[in-house]
């Protein structure tokens, strides 16, 4: 007897325009018909187009079904067939929400439908909006609790801005859809998670929040959305870690696919329908949403180990045993998309900042993944192309392969920030360091990192220092913001450190944070929730206002 068909996700909203919005969902069957019914009495129908994801797999580190729990572990990566369905709902009126429901019909004629949700097109300027600011979910322990508290605290939001690192391994399907630990990406943002937290024997389950069924999601690429050389290694984790620069790939694999032999963002780009730019496609773009012009950049690099022991493809050196095998080198913290002055992305950004759409927006916001200012560890070394230094002995044998990152060549600080300042950008949003902190430049531009959902690596403040190498040409900053701004102490209810002093950050594996941008007042409010006290209240602890 064949089991009833199931949806792999609820529907979620993408690419709203003045009178339309896209509805997207996923199944594990190709199906014969996929539709959206919408409007009064769900009387109108939009038919979906379908594609099959091209790189989704599972492997030894997957948690799916009985996988990784009952001894049934894959011995190598295996393909997983997943189909994506997208319908454009048209004829909508700004400011008017309508009901919608999706239905997928399997090849045998059996059908499955979602609950009824609501959708709306792009809001007009002047519409008051509440926008969720988040990042770095990566199936972290507090994500489901975080998103559940968003809905309980502020109700339905109008959009989600996601500053990168949506999952850990982009091509591992279960991390997006159905990791059996209960914290996959879509379940968390759709209120279908089932993540259990245990504090002192008290178990609390969190479901996340029904958010993106009603609100469009605008993400950017973080380092975890990038996969490395294709099918060259034993696990998907290894493949993720196996990125090399395009120029090196061209030299090593001149007769093969450049993308398959360097790095790619295929799964990310197949999952999301986003605004596009002529030079960057979905990878960087700009969009007007109500009173906001949101500019999304592709600013991320490969994260590599900071340790200097010759055992890892590190930030600062290569594995000793691979000195004579350049094909196995990591090439340091390579930058995936050029953004230095004169690059395609920089030129696009410069043109965007001079566009009428940007200049006429009440609020001008830029989002990307890598932090320009942070107390986190991931800001060092400088955001610049690694300078490779090969040291040889008197016989020509390699005795060291190391990398330096000149501080005065930091592309974000040297090139991008002055551009944003001159264009009167009010707000820069980013992630990467798994904490909350914020800064303000001398001109009044606000910087916010709000990525604390678990697996925090701490803040370089007080007694805690960053891991930096000694004896290198560059001296990397071990405490505070390397780029010279003082962190802002929360304005309403800051946490106190062990010394009784207020802390200008939250870096915790127990206290989670989310932030809301209210365009009616121009305020960005940050809230915290202590998961050790499941019955406690959500506390608004910081707020600042953008000058329109």
Residue 432 contacts residue 165 (beta carbons within 8 Å): yes
Q: Which two tokens stand for residue 366?
A: 């830029």
Q: How do strand 117-119 and strand 83-89 relate by DSSP bridges? A: unpaired
- Distance (Å, whole) CA 513 – CA 507: 9
Enclosing H/E stretch for 22: strand 21-27
Same structural domain for residues 118 and 7? yes
**What's the CA gap between 161 and 344, in Å, rounded?**
24
The residue among 97, 122, 147 that closes a domain is 122
- Distance (Å, whole) CA 22 – CA 40: 18
Q: Is 67 found in the same domain as 215?
A: no
Q: Quick check: 153 and 132 in contact, CB under 8 A?
A: no
In this structure, the strands spanning 44-47 and 49-52 are unpaired
Looking at the structure, do residues 517 and 435 belong to the same domain, yes or no?
yes
3-state secondary structure of 450: strand
Can you give the pLDDT at residue 162? Answer: 98
Tell me the HSE value of 280 on the side-chain side, using a 13 A CA sphere: 28
The CA angle 405-350-159, to the nearest 5 degrees, is 95
Q: Cα(25)–Cα(85) distance, rounded to whole angstroms?
A: 5
DSSP 131-175: EEEE---TT-TTHHHHHHHHHHHH-S-SEEEE-S--SSSTTBHHH
SS (H, E, C) 183-241: CCHHHHHECCCCEEEEECCEEEEECCCECCCCCEEEECCCHHHCECCCCCCCCHHHHHC
**Residue 330: pLDDT above 90?**
yes
For residue range 182-221, list pLDDT tens digits in order. Answer: 999 999 999 999 999 999 888 999 999 999 999 999 999 9
Tokens 């245990």 correspond to what residue? 198
Q: What is the CATH number of the domain that holds 195?
A: 3.60.21.10
- The token pair that represents 206 in the structure block: 């969190």
Residues 297 and 427 in one domain: yes
Q: How many helices (H) and strands (E) does the chain have?
A: 10, 27
Quick one: 16 and 82 in the same domain?
yes
**Same-domain check for residues 280 and 162:** yes
- Spell out the residues 6+ positions from residue 256 whose beta carbon is closer than 8 angstroms to its own: none
* Residues 388, 332 contacting (CB under 8 angstroms): yes
Start-end of H helices in 293-426? 344-353, 356-360, 411, 417-422
Domain assignment of residue 246, yes or no: no
Q: Which of 532, 521, 531, 437 has the alpha carbon at shortest distance from 149?
A: 531
CB 435 within 8 A of CB 441: no
Domain count, the chain: 2
Residues 184 and 283 in one domain: yes
Residue 250 lies in a domain: no
159 shares its domain with 131:
yes
Distance, CA of 286 to CA of 293 (rounded, Å):
7
Question: Per-residue pLDDT for 66 more than 80?
Answer: no
How long, in residues, is the chain?
A: 548
For residue 105, give Cα distances in angstroms to 26, 47, 281.
12, 12, 32
Query: Which pair of structure tokens corresponds to residue 62?
Result: 């997957």
pLDDT digits (tens, 9 = 90+) for 520-537: 999 999 999 999 999 999
**Spatial contact of 412 and 481, defined as CB atoms under 8 Å apart:** no
Share of residues in the chain with pLDDT > 90 (%): 91
Domain match, 219 and 279 both:
yes
Structural domain of 7:
1-122
Contact (Cβ atoms closer than 8 angstroms) between residue 141 and residue 183: yes
Q: pLDDT band at residue 307, thresholds of 50, 70 and 90?
A: confident
The mean predicted confidence, pLDDT, of the chain is 95
Q: Give the pLDDT of residue 38.
A: 98
More confident of the two residues 201 and 1 = 201
Residue 502 reports pLDDT greater than 80: yes
Distance CA 232, CA 254 (A): 17
Domain stop point among 69, 96, 122: 122
Q: What is the structure's pLDDT at 456?
A: 83
Instruction: Give residue-wise pLDDT tens across range 365-423.
Output: 999 999 999 999 999 999 999 999 999 999 999 999 999 999 999 999 999 999 999 99
Are 50 and 180 members of one domain? no
Distance CA 163, CA 75 (A): 34
306 in a structural domain: no
**Position 315 in a domain:** no
Q: Which two structure tokens, joined as six digits, stand for 24?
A: 């997207």
Average pLDDT on 333-352 reads 98
236 lies in some domain: no
Which H or E run includes 45?
A: strand 44-47
Contact 513, 438 (CB under 8 A): no
CATH number at 42 reads 2.60.40.10
Same domain, 7 and 93: yes
Identify whether 275 is part of a domain.
yes
| Average pLDDT of the segment spanning 147-169 | 98
- Determine phi and psi for 527, rounding to 5 degrees: -125, 150
Residue that finishes a domain, picked among 122, 153, 171? 122
475 assigned to some structural domain = no
Q: Both 43 and 180 in a single domain?
A: no
C-alpha 529, offset from chain centre: 21
Round to whole Å and give the CA distance between 208 and 374. Answer: 27
CA distance 493 to 342: 43
Task: Give yes or no for a contact between 23 and 87, defined as CB atoms under 8 angstroms apart.
Answer: yes
For residue 68, is pLDDT > 80? no
What CA–CA distance (Å, rounded) separates 333 from 300?
Answer: 9
């Amino acid at each position: 007897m064949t089991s009833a068909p199931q949806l792999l996700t609820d529907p979620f909203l993408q690419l709203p325009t003045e009178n339309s919005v896209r509805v997207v969902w996923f199944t594990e069957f190709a199906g014969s018909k996929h539709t959206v019914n919408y409007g009064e009495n769900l009387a109108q129908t939009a038919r979906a187009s379908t594609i099959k994801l091209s790189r989704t797999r599972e492997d030894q580190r997957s948690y799916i079904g009985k996988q990784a729990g009952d001894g049934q572990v894959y011995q190598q990566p295996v393909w997983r067939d997943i189909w994506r369905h997208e319908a454009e709902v048209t004829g909508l009126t700004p400011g008017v929400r309508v009901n919608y429901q999706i239905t997928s019909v399997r090849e045998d004629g059996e059908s499955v439908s979602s609950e009824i949700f609501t959708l709306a097109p792009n809001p007009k300027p002047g519409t008051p909006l509440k926008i969720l600011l988040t990042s770095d979910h990566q199936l972290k322990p507090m994500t489901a609790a975080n998103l559940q508290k968003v809905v309980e605290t502020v109700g339905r939001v109008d959009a989600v801005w996601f500053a990168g690192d949506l999952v850990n391994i982009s091509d591992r399907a279960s991390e997006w859809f159905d990791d059996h630990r209960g914290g996959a990406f879509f379940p968390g943002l759709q209120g279908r998670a089932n993540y259990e937290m245990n504090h002192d024997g008290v178990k609390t389950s969190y479901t996340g929040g029904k958010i993106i069924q009603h609100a469009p999601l605008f993400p950017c690429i973080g380092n975890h959305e990038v996969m490395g050389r294709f099918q060259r290694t034993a696990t998907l984790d290894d493949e993720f870690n196996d990125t090399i620069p395009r120029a090196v790939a061209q030299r090593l694999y001149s007769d093969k696919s450049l993308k398959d032999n360097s790095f790619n963002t295929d799964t990310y780009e197949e999952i999301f329908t986003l605004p596009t730019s002529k030079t960057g496609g979905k990878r960087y773009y700009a969009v007007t949403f109500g009173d906001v012009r949101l500019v999304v950049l592709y600013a991320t690099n490969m994260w590599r180990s900071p340790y200097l022991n010759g055992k890892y493809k590190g930030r600062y050196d290569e594995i000793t045993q691979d000195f004579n095998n350049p094909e196995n080198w990591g090439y340091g913290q390579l930058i995936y998309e050029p953004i230095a002055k004169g690059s395609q992305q920089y030129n696009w950004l410069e043109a965007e900042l001079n566009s009428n759409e940007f200049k006429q927006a009440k609020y001008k916001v830029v989002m990307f993944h890598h932090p320009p200012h942070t107390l986190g560890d991931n800001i060092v070394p400088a955001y610049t192309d690694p300078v490779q230094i090969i040291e040889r002995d008197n016989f020509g044998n390699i005795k060291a392969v190391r990398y330096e990152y000149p501080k005065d060549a930091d592309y974000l600080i040297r090139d991008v920030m002055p551009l944003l300042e001159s264009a009167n950008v009010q707000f820069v949003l980013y992630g990467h360091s798994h904490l909350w902190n914020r800064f303000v430049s001398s001109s009044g531009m606000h910087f916010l990192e709000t990525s604390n959902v678990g697996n925090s690596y701490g803040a370089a403040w007080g007694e805690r220092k960053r891991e930096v190498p000694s004896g290198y040409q560059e001296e990397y900053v071990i405490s505070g913001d390397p780029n010279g701004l003082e962190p802002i102490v929360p304005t309403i209810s800051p946490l106190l450190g062990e010394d009784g002093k207020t802390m200008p950050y939250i870096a915790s594996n127990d206290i989670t944070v989310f932030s809301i941008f209210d365009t009616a007042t121009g305020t960005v409010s940050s809230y915290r929730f202590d998961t050790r006290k499941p019955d406690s209240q959500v506390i608004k602890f910081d707020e600042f206002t953008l000058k329109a």
